[in-house]
Structure 1
Amino acid sequence: MKVYQTNEIKNISILGSSGSGKTTLAEAMLFEGGVIKRRGTVEAGNTVSDYFPVEKDYGYSVFSTVFSVEWNGLKLNFIDCPGSDDFIGGAVSALNVTDTALMVINAQYGVEVGTINQFRYTEQFHKPVIFVVNQLDNDKADFDNTVHQLRENYGAKAVQIQYPVQTGAAFNAVVDVLKMKMYRWKPEGGKPDVLDIPAEELDKATELHKALVEAAAEHDDTLMEKFFEEGTLSEDDMRAGIRAGLVSRGMFPIFCVCAGKDMCVRRTLEFLGNVVPCTDKMPRPVTTEGIEVTADPAGPTSLFFFKTTIEPHIGQVSYFKVVSGKVKVGDDLTNADRGSKERIAQLFAVDGQIRSEVSEMEAGDIGATVKLKDVRRGNTLNGKGCEYRFDFIKYPEPKFRRAIKPVNEADAEKLSEILSRMHEEDPTWIVEQSKELKQTIVSGQGEFHLRTLKWRIENNDKLAIEFLEPKIPYRETITKSARADYRHKKQSGGAGQFGEVHLIIEPYYEGMPAPGTYRFGGQEYRMNVRDTQVYDLEWGGKLVFVNCIVGGAIDARFLPAILKGIMGRMEQGPLTGSYARDVRVCVYDGKMHPVDSNEISFMLAGRNAFSTAFRDAAPKILEPIYDIEVLVPGDYLGDVMSDLQGRRALIMGMNSERGCEKLMAKVPLKEMSSYSTSLSSITGGRASFTMKFSGYELVPTDVQEKLLKEYAATQTEE
């Protein structure tokens, strides 16, 4: 493959809901571009895109796939992204390194929740969008309704370039209102016959052509003046206007395609080649230091690595975008993130698992290399004198979690290594070794996402594992003041141990006044504050330690030991063994022995005094609460709301968003365990949700009683 110049390269993401036909479209594009001689099918498991065993087994995309098509002297780099919301990480990575999004829509279903979710990311990254309405040969295809939904959601920016003469089994022709021609295909698809528009379609085509001309003129002042003077625009003028509209996101062109029969794919490639902006015409990426980097082949060499995979017989394959300069085989580069040196031994242009060696790549191009020593996804490699570093990919919060362990405990270390490697391949798999819960927790975007993880570990790595219900990271706190004292005294023939601590504890909140006077059992205790220390606990909340000792009852050198004893007890609360938080402790009195007092004595005295007071301070259990947003078609809103209320959810509000309903709620983590599965079941897979940690709140009394019984039972068993 020849070396393409920066102004000959276009980078495009292929997005769309599951079942929209992205992989089939990719296959048709590769065929039309001459990359493959025969089109594969998803059903046969022989497509270029879905080449991993897990994808062939499941029948749809799990990973994003890079491929390219040479078209009219240009290199069109594509990244075919998974449609399932569970694998959204692939789309997020792709949109960060491509310049345009091709949004594929299933003509049977129109604008789906998946379409809306992925379109949100194009908004976030300010990427041009082209809508491609696919599967027009399906009996349930409804092109007009799909266009209506697009305009309902995205307004007048959704502009038709084409429309089908008819849909369903008889689909074989489209009218192109940019070219003002009709394209008609033979049953085998491929190259069409280009015909004049039939008389019966001319009025409709002319009306849509005028709308397209006006839309194209809107985005360029020169074109607008020309339009006012001449009343129309040439085809080249219209292309320039559409290109300007794409870059500003002021226009979203609508195309027709039947990927399965290879109809209108060639025309779509032609439009992408003629109209979509090249990478050097798009907004420039920004380094972590705030420097804008131009896609200039004469600039310093800088590569950003956005994806890694582990492939049989090869090992790690690292995918990159040349952000600046050019990279050649044999170049020595420095990892800006890890400080290590790397040599580029091989460079590849990639079409799925097909790799073609190239000698160099210029700024804007996307390629791959192998056998790098110390490069991870998200790293930047730079040439001599260049210090760029990029960190622009931010992934969504996980939504589904499970504890994971090997069936054979002896394989624990092996499992840890596998999970670490798989996180590199898919960063939306989050792995946490929880000291608190004494479990390995793996989190992802949904049940299917984690089921895929399990499939790969068991089938590729031959390691049997099991998923368990994860424990909930509860917290314990107190709701009233309490007082306690404890004397630790031990005599065993040699040196003795003696320490006595008197303390008062109370719930802590921001801005509370300094300790004053307390009354317990008819007796008054007045605090004389000498020193206050505030500790931010690593598990959230605070411990405030107040020294109120007067008259030297306890030597100051023993206060750290008392604090250590209290902190140790807060790490294992008395109710359920969970971390305690938000407590103020006033140590106001005690006793010591001139010989037998030592640090261990006061640590134990502080620990036990605190434990006794905690139990008397009306302790309560706190549970983690999450903010969730559910995007659901209106038909299912009532069922979804009822299900949430059954999960102790507090509905915070709702509004409409582009043809769907958005429901906001606060829900305890405990109730979200299998929510993604339930939501999919209720809505037939047509809803999605996001969740984000909000804070901790008191559990209801009945829930607390149940938790106390469960904890007591585990303690008895132990």
Structure 2
Amino acid sequence: MKNYQTSEIKNVVLLGAPGSGKTTFAEAMAFEGKVIDRRGSIENENTLSDNTDLEHSNRRSIYSTILYTEFMNHKLNIIDAPGSDDFSGGLFAAFKVADVGLMLFNAQNGFEVGSEIQSRYAKTYNVPLVGVINQLDSEKANWEGTLESIASFSKVKPIVVQYPVNPGLGFDAFIDVLLMKMFRFKDDNGTREELPIPAEHAERAAELHQALLEAAAENDETLMDTYFEKGDLEPDEIRKGLGMGIANRDWMPIFCASAKKDIGTKRIMEFIIKVAPNPDQRPPMTDTEGNDIPADPAGPTILFVFKSSIEQHVGEISYFRVVSGKVTEGMELLNMRTENKEKLSQLFAVAGKNRVKVSEMSAGDIGCTVKLKSTRTGDTLAPAGSHTVISPMVFPEPRYRAAVRAVNQADEEKLGELLNKARYEDPTLLVEYSKELKQTIVQGQGELHLKILRDQIMGGSKIDIEYFAPRIPYRETITKTAAADYRHKKQSGGAGQFGEVHLVIEPYYEGMPEPSKYKVDGKELTLNVKNKEEYDLDWGGKLQFYSAVVGGAIDARFMPAILKGIMEKMEEGPLTGSYARDIRVIVYDGKMHPVDSNEISFKLAGRNAFKEAFRNAGPKIMEPIYNVEVLVPSDKMGDVMSDMQNRRAIIEGMSSEGGLDRLSARVPLSELYRYSTTLSSLTNGRATYTMKFASYEQVPSDIQEKLLKAYADTDKDE
């Protein structure tokens, strides 16, 4: 394989809703570039993409697949991204390193919710788009309807470059209005003939050609002058104008295809090579300081790792883009995160599981290496002495959480290792053991995402695991002032235990005045504060701890023990065992024994006095509230809103956008378990949502009563 220069490289991400034919199209591109001599199929489970057992059994893309093909003396790096939003991590990584998106539309379904989601992501990352209406050989293929839906809903205006002559089961020809030719296909392997446009298509082709000329001329004054002067533009001039419009996301050229029959593939590849931007024609990557890193082959060697995987018999594989400079086999670079040296002993061009050794790669190219010591997704590799760190990829917030455990408790340690491995390969999976909830919590993009994780673990390790509803991380606090005292006394021969603590607690809020006077047992208590400590709690909120003991009633050396007892009870709140927060504690009196007083005595006295005061201070439970945004087809909005209201949601806003409605609401986390499944059921899989933590708010009184009773019953059981 030759070493391609930056100007000879195109980086393409294949986009589209599930079922739009991306994997089959990638196969056709690899076939046209002679990377494979026979096309595989989804049915036969032998495609370059979707090459894992899980993808075969689920008949869908789960992981992004990196491929390449060689065509017209260029290298096209292709990332086949999953269509399902549950597996969007691969898509977000692809947007980081790709220079153009090829958006496939199923001619039977038109512009789908999946198309909307992915085009929205493409807009966020400023990725130019080229549109392909695929599966035009299907019985229910609807070219006009699909084109109309794209025009109505797409965030980038479509401009027709090709239209089909005979969409449907007999589809074998299309008119190309850029070249003003008809292409007819003789077989299912891309063999084509170029023909003049038939007379019955001449008028329509001329109209579309005119629209293409005007679109191209819009982007360049010189082209506009030429167009006005001649009334026409040469194909290369059209390509130049369209290239500028594509790069600015003003236009999305629309092509015809049947990936299954390899119709249109070659023409689309020709267009990408001649029109789509090279790596050095796109906005450069930036580092964490905001500096541009141009795709300059003469610059310092900088690699960005955008995907990691573990393959049996091979080990860890790191997929990278050469951001700058050239990387050669055997080169040593520094991992900017770990500061460890990494030797790239081998470099590969990638075509699914097939890897071709290369000796060198230039800026803009995509490849992989194996067996790096400590490099993972998101790392930057650069020369020693460099301080460049490429700005990280930003992945979507998790939308689904579940607790997980091994059915056989003896497998828990092994399960932890497998979860960490899965996290290494998929950054959109979050795995943590919650000390607060005493559960291992897994978070992902949806129930399907976590189902696939379970299948992966159980299939590869034979460990049985189960998901169940996670506990909710409630918070406990107080609403009024209360006082309590507690004497801890224990005598069992020899030295005993004795400690007595009197304290006042009150709700903490920012900017509140310092403590001075309180009423305790009907009497006014004036405080003389000796010491103040303030703690920002790991779980949010604050604790203020004051010592106002006078006359040596409690020796100062016992105050840390009292604080420790209080803090222990705040870590396991008196109401439900949840963390307590935003409380001020003032220890104002107590008693000691000259022999029996010790730290454990005062820790227990402080803990129990705090617990008693807490219960009398108008305690309340607070629950986590999330901002939820649902994108839903207009005809399903009523069902979605009704379901939201049943979840104690507060609707904050509604808006419409291109035939889709957007619903914004604040929803308690306790009401969101398995919401992705419910939403899919309500909308036939046509809606999506995002969720992000907003705040803690007081639970309604009826729910608080239920929580208190449930915790009391648990205490009895234990």
Match of 1:33 in 2: 33
Match of 2:585 in 1: 585
Structure 1 pair 290–193 and aligned structure 2 pair: CA distance change class (3 A): same
Q: Whole-Å Cα distance in 1 between the matches of residues 510 and 110 of structure 2? A: 51
* Deviation by residue 1:399-427 (Cα, 9 ceiling, x = unmatched): 11111122222222211111111111111
Match of 2:101 in 1: 101
Q: Whole-Å Cα distance in 1 between the matches of residues 385 and 281 of structure 2? A: 26
Q: Is the 8 A contact 2:136 2:171 kept in 1?
A: yes
Match of 1:230 in 2: 230
Q: Secondary structure at the match of 2:588?
A: strand
Q: Secondary structure at the match of 1:510?
A: coil
Match of 2:309 in 1: 309
Q: Secondary structure at the match of 1:560?
A: helix
Q: Whole-Å Cα distance in 2 between the matches of residues 155 and 592 of structure 1? A: 74
Match of 1:7 in 2: 7
Q: Whole-Å Cα distance in 2 between the matches of residues 156 and 403 of structure 1? A: 41
Q: Whole-Å Cα distance in 2 between the matches of residues 180 and 264 of structure 1? A: 15
Query: Which shifted more, 29-38 or 521-530?
Result: 521-530
Match of 1:288 in 2: 288
* Deviation by residue 1:80-112 (Cα, 9 ceiling, x = unmatched): 000011100000001101111111111222222
Residue correspondence of structure 1 range 194-233 to structure 2 within 5 A: 194-233=194-233
Match of 1:610 in 2: 610
Match of 1:544 in 2: 544
How many aligned residue pairs are there? 718
Q: Secondary structure at the match of 2:589?
A: strand
Q: Whole-Å Cα distance in 1 between the matches of residues 555 and 357 of structure 2? A: 75
Q: Whole-Å Cα distance in 2 between the matches of residues 127 and 534 of structure 1? A: 48
Give the gaps of 5 or more residues in structure 1: none
Q: Is the 8 A contact 2:116 2:154 kept in 1?
A: no
Structure 1 pair 528–110 and aligned structure 2 pair: CA distance change class (3 A): farther
Q: Whole-Å Cα distance in 1 between the matches of residues 334 and 200 of structure 2? A: 64
Match of 1:145 in 2: 145
Q: Report the residue type matching 1:441 in the other structure.
A: I
Match of 1:460 in 2: 460
Match of 2:252 in 1: 252
Q: Whole-Å Cα distance in 1 between the matches of residues 528 and 255 of structure 2? A: 77
Q: Secondary structure at the match of 1:460?
A: helix
Match of 2:159 in 1: 159
Match of 1:374 in 2: 374
Q: Whole-Å Cα distance in 2 between the matches of residues 587 and 110 of structure 1? A: 70
Task: Kindly state the Cα deviation for residue 530 of structure 1 after the two structures are TM-superposed.
Answer: 4.7
Task: Kindly state the Cα deviation for residue 493 of structure 1 after the two structures are TM-superposed.
Answer: 4.3
Query: Which shifted more, 196-205 or 263-272?
Result: 196-205
Match of 2:477 in 1: 477
Q: Is the 8 A contact 2:487 2:501 kept in 1?
A: yes
Q: Whole-Å Cα distance in 2 between the matches of residues 133 and 493 of structure 1? A: 88
* Deviation by residue 1:48-104 (Cα, 9 ceiling, x = unmatched): 101111101111111001111111011010000000111000000011011111111
Q: Report the residue type matching 1:370 in the other structure.
A: V
Q: Secondary structure at the match of 2:35?
A: coil
Q: Report the residue type matching 1:554 in the other structure.
A: I
Q: Report the residue type matching 2:339 in the other structure.
A: G
Query: Which shifted more, 90-99 or 114-123?
Result: 114-123
Q: Indicate whether 1:448 and 2:448 are aligned.
A: yes
Query: Which shifted more, 38-47 or 522-531?
Result: 522-531
Q: Secondary structure at the match of 1:130?
A: strand
Q: Whole-Å Cα distance in 1 between the matches of residues 395 and 245 of structure 2? A: 28
Q: Report the residue type matching 2:115 in the other structure.
A: T
Match of 2:695 in 1: 695
Q: Secondary structure at the match of 2:356?
A: strand
Task: Kindly state the Cα deviation for residue 596 of structure 1 after the two structures are TM-superposed.
Answer: 4.1
Q: Whole-Å Cα distance in 1 between the matches of residues 493 and 451 of structure 2? A: 62
Query: Which shifted more, 496-505 or 238-247?
Result: 496-505
Q: Secondary structure at the match of 1:14?
A: strand
Match of 1:503 in 2: 503
Q: Is the 8 A contact 1:219 1:250 kept in 2?
A: no
Q: Is the 8 A contact 2:119 2:155 kept in 1?
A: no
Q: Whole-Å Cα distance in 2 between the matches of residues 332 and 372 of structure 1? A: 11
Q: Whole-Å Cα distance in 1 between the matches of residues 198 and 531 of structure 2? A: 90
Task: Kindly state the Cα deviation for residue 387 of structure 1 after the two structures are TM-superposed.
Answer: 3.3
Q: Whole-Å Cα distance in 1 between the matches of residues 532 and 256 of structure 2? A: 70
Q: Is the 8 A contact 1:116 1:658 kept in 2?
A: no
Q: Report the residue type matching 1:77 in the other structure.
A: N
Query: Which shifted more, 363-372 or 157-166?
Result: 157-166
Q: Whole-Å Cα distance in 2 between the matches of residues 20 and 105 of structure 1? A: 5
Q: Is the 8 A contact 1:42 1:59 kept in 2?
A: yes
Q: Is the 8 A contact 1:302 1:386 kept in 2?
A: no
Query: Which shifted more, 172-181 or 223-232?
Result: 223-232
Q: Report the residue type matching 2:164 in the other structure.
A: P
Residue correspondence of structure 1 range 416-431 to structure 2 within 5 A: 416-431=416-431
Q: Whole-Å Cα distance in 1 between the matches of residues 252 and 526 of structure 2? A: 72
Q: Whole-Å Cα distance in 2 between the matches of residues 519 and 202 of structure 1? A: 95
Task: Kindly state the Cα deviation for residue 156 of structure 1 after the two structures are TM-superposed.
Answer: 7.2
Match of 2:678 in 1: 678
* Deviation by residue 1:661-710 (Cα, 9 ceiling, x = unmatched): 11111111111111111111111111111111111112222222222222
Task: Kindly state the Cα deviation for residue 180 of structure 1 after the two structures are TM-superposed.
Answer: 1.6
Q: Is the 8 A contact 1:223 1:241 kept in 2?
A: yes
Q: TM-score, normalised by structure 2?
A: 0.96
Residue correspondence of structure 1 range 508-527 to structure 2 within 5 A: 508-527=508-527
Query: Which shifted more, 103-112 or 67-76?
Result: 103-112
Q: Whole-Å Cα distance in 1 between the matches of residues 516 and 152 of structure 2? A: 63
Q: Report the residue type matching 1:160 in the other structure.
A: V
* Deviation by residue 1:443-476 (Cα, 9 ceiling, x = unmatched): 1111111111111111112222222221111111
Residue correspondence of structure 1 range 651-666 to structure 2 within 5 A: 651-666=651-666
Structure 1 pair 484–194 and aligned structure 2 pair: CA distance change class (3 A): same
* Deviation by residue 1:212-248 (Cα, 9 ceiling, x = unmatched): 2121122223222322333332211111111111222
Q: Whole-Å Cα distance in 2 between the matches of residues 166 and 635 of structure 1? A: 32
Match of 1:83 in 2: 83
Q: Secondary structure at the match of 1:533?
A: strand
Structure 1 pair 156–98 and aligned structure 2 pair: CA distance change class (3 A): closer
Q: Report the residue type matching 1:459 in the other structure.
A: G
* Deviation by residue 1:575-606 (Cα, 9 ceiling, x = unmatched): 11111112122223333345544333322221
Match of 2:193 in 1: 193
Q: Whole-Å Cα distance in 2 between the matches of residues 348 and 100 of structure 1? A: 22
Match of 1:131 in 2: 131
Query: Which shifted more, 291-300 or 7-16?
Result: 291-300
Residue correspondence of structure 1 range 43-58 to structure 2 within 5 A: 43-58=43-58
Q: Whole-Å Cα distance in 1 between the matches of residues 184 and 544 of structure 2? A: 77
Q: Is the 8 A contact 1:10 1:277 kept in 2?
A: yes
Q: Indicate whether 1:557 and 2:557 are aligned.
A: yes
Task: Kindly state the Cα deviation for residue 16 of structure 1 after the two structures are TM-superposed.
Answer: 0.8
Q: Whole-Å Cα distance in 2 between the matches of residues 170 and 52 of structure 1? A: 33
Q: Indicate whether 1:402 and 2:374 are aligned.
A: no
Residue correspondence of structure 1 range 697-716 to structure 2 within 5 A: 697-716=697-716
Q: Report the residue type matching 2:577 in the other structure.
A: G
Q: Is the 8 A contact 1:184 1:195 kept in 2?
A: yes
Q: Whole-Å Cα distance in 2 between the matches of residues 406 and 71 of structure 1? A: 50
* Deviation by residue 1:527-568 (Cα, 9 ceiling, x = unmatched): 444544332111112212233444544343333222211111
Match of 2:353 in 1: 353
Structure 1 pair 580–346 and aligned structure 2 pair: CA distance change class (3 A): same
Q: Whole-Å Cα distance in 1 between the matches of residues 142 and 649 of structure 2? A: 38
Q: Report the residue type matching 2:626 in the other structure.
A: Y
Q: Whole-Å Cα distance in 1 between the matches of residues 414 and 27 of structure 2? A: 37
Match of 1:261 in 2: 261
Q: Is the 8 A contact 2:330 2:344 kept in 1?
A: yes
Q: Is the 8 A contact 2:119 2:154 kept in 1?
A: no
Structure 1 pair 465–155 and aligned structure 2 pair: CA distance change class (3 A): closer
Q: Is the 8 A contact 2:123 2:155 kept in 1?
A: no
Q: Whole-Å Cα distance in 2 between the matches of residues 112 and 624 of structure 1? A: 33
Q: Whole-Å Cα distance in 2 between the matches of residues 178 and 693 of structure 1? A: 50
Give the gaps of 5 or more residues in structure 2: none
Q: Secondary structure at the match of 1:188?
A: coil
* Deviation by residue 1:175-222 (Cα, 9 ceiling, x = unmatched): 222112222223535132222222222222222222221211222232
Q: Whole-Å Cα distance in 2 between the matches of residues 461 and 119 of structure 1? A: 38
Task: Kindly state the Cα deviation for residue 22 of structure 1 after the two structures are TM-superposed.
Answer: 0.5
Match of 2:650 in 1: 650
Q: Is the 8 A contact 1:191 1:266 kept in 2?
A: no
Match of 1:627 in 2: 627
